[in-house]
């Protein structure tokens, strides 16, 4: 029982990052209807940016955070303008292939800027140590990470609900052509979506880099978050958050109960088995929009 509670609490903590990542996928998918596989590699870029700012350039933490966020936003804007905009109106395969290739392209850039090594932050930029609550240790790094994630998601929701650009995004989500006719600059909205989403993804990247070490293996988290996006439904923020936490809990339960039974990287495999199960049972996820097609 202690084990169970422990895994669930830790899972919720690590699930915050998955929720953040899932939200970053949803932001793009909602407005552009392109699924950004490339977000998995944006994580790597974000982690390296933060690493460069803190360790190589010796900047203060807040400045490093700012630079990383700006870098992510600029990266997203460039990606949208250079690679995604020429593909508007192409069949669904074209954006899928392009985002997959972008994932590898960004990964290659990550190899070059990181020289192929795994780097660490040395002193973590979030407080270290742990709180002793009852029978288990709660690492501060996870809790602060979770708090930062919740803050960002809350900010994003506020942006989505209350600002004009957010309103534009919601309209574009309904229908691209209608939005265009209403005088919304759809291309601009696409660009904002990519910029915001990449900004969110780099924050997730730096948090993950802080925990797991800055390296190319970070993109595995991005791929696992795909399972979360699908579980929650591709178009739902609420679903993304719940499913992100669920995937975090699932992973911790895997570590506690399944990893002793099976060899190898079960934490990588179980989310994908889960993804397959979702696809078999409820392909549109918890809150996803079931699209009815007509001839």
Partner 1 sequence: MSININRPCGTFDRNYFQAKALYRTPLRKALLILLIIGMYLIAFFIGDYGISILTLICAFTIGMLGLQIITGYCGQISIGHAAFMGVGMYTVGILQKHFGLSFWACLPLAGFIPMFIGMVFGIPALRMKGLYLAFATLAAHFVIVYVISNWRSVTNGTDGMWMKRPGPLWGIDFQSDRNYYLLVLTITILMVYLATNLVRTKLGRSFVAVRDNDIAAKVMGINIAHTKIMAFGIGCFFAGIAGALGGAYYEYVNIEWFGLDDSIWYLGFLVVGGFGSIFGAIAGATVWKIMDEFSTLITPLAETFLGGAAFYASAAFSLIFYSLIIIIFLVFEPRGIAHRWEIIKRSYRLHPFPY
Whole-number minimum distance, CB 219 to partner 1, in Å?
Answer: 9
Closer to partner 1 by Cβ: residue 168 or 222 = 222
Beta carbon of residue 148, minimum distance to partner 1 (angstroms, whole number): 28
Site residues (vs partner 1, CB under 8 A): 35, 83, 86-87, 90, 92-94, 96-98, 100-105, 107-109, 111-112, 115-116, 223, 226-227, 230, 234, 262-265, 268-269, 272-273, 275-276, 279-280, 283, 293-295
End-to-end CA separation in angstroms for the chain: 54
Taking CA atoms, 69 is separated from 13, 66, 116, 178, in Å, by: 22, 5, 23, 32
Q: How far is the CB of 165 from partner 1 (least distance, A)?
A: 25
Q: Which is nearer to partner 1, 23 or 149 (CB)?
A: 23
Query: What tokens were used for 97?
Result: 């292939």
Of 1 and 93, the one with the shorter C-beta distance to partner 1 is 93
- Inter-residue long-range contacts of 62-69, CB under 8 Å, 24+ positions, other chains counted: 64/125, 65/203, 65/206, 68/202, 68/203, 68/206, 69/199, 69/202, 69/203
Residue whose CB is less far from partner 1, 141 or 216: 216
Q: How far is the CB of 125 from partner 1 (least distance, A)?
A: 26
The residue among 25 and 192 lying less far from partner 1, judged by its C-beta, is 25
The answer to whether residues 205 and 45 touch, using CB atoms and an 8 Å cutoff, is: yes
Kindly state the smallest distance separating residue 20's Cβ from partner 1, in Å. 20
Q: Each residue of 164-178: b (16+ CB within 10 Å) or e?
A: eebebbebbbeebee
Based on CB atoms, which residue is closest to partner 1, 105 or 211? 105
**Closest distance to partner 1 from the beta carbon of 106 (Å):** 9
Q: Are strands 130-133 and 136-139 parallel, antiparallel or unpaired?
A: antiparallel
Nearest to 47 by CA among 119, 99, 149: 119
Residue 138's DSSP bridge partners are 131
CB of 24 to partner 1, least distance (A): 17
- In the three-class reduction of DSSP (H, G, I as helix; E, B as strand; rest coil), residue 262 is classed as coil
- Using the minimum distance from each CB to partner 1, give the nearer residue, 35 or 160: 35
Residue whose pair of structure tokens reads 């989310």 in the numeric block: 271
């Amino acid at each position: 029982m202690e084990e169970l509670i422990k895994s669930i609490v830790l899972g919720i903590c690590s699930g915050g990052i998955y929720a953040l990542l899932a939200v970053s996928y949803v932001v793009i998918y909602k407005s552009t209807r392109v699924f950004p596989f490339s977000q998995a590699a944006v994580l790597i870029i974000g982690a390296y940016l933060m690493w460069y700012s803190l360790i190589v350039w010796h900047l203060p933490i807040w400045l490093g955070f700012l630079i990383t966020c700006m870098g992510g936003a600029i990266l997203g804007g460039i990606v949208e303008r250079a690679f995604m905009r020429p593909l508007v109106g192409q069949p669904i395969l074209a954006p899928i292939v392009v985002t997959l290739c972008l994932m590898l392209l960004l990964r290659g850039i990550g190899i070059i800027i990181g020289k192929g090594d795994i780097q660490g932050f040395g002193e973590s930029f979030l407080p270290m140590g742990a709180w002793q609550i009852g029978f288990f240790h709660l690492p501060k790094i996870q809790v602060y990470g979770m708090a930062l994630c919740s803050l960002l998601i809350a900010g994003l929701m506020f942006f989505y609900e209350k600002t004009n650009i957010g309103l534009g995004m919601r309209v574009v989500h309904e229908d691209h052509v209608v939005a265009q006719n209403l005088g919304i600059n759809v291309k601009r909205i696409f660009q904002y979506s990519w910029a915001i989403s990449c900004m969110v993804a780099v924050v997730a990247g730096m948090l993950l880099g802080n925990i797991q070490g800055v390296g190319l293996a970070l993109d595995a988290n991005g791929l696992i978050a795909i399972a979360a996006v699908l579980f929650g439904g591709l178009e739902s923020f609420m679903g993304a958050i719940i499913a992100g936490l669920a995937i975090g809990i699932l992973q911790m339960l895997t570590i506690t109960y399944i990893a002793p039974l099976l060899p190898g990287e079960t934490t990588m495999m179980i989310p994908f088995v889960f993804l397959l199960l979702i696809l078999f049972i409820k392909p549109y996820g918890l809150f996803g929009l079931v699209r009815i097609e007509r001839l």
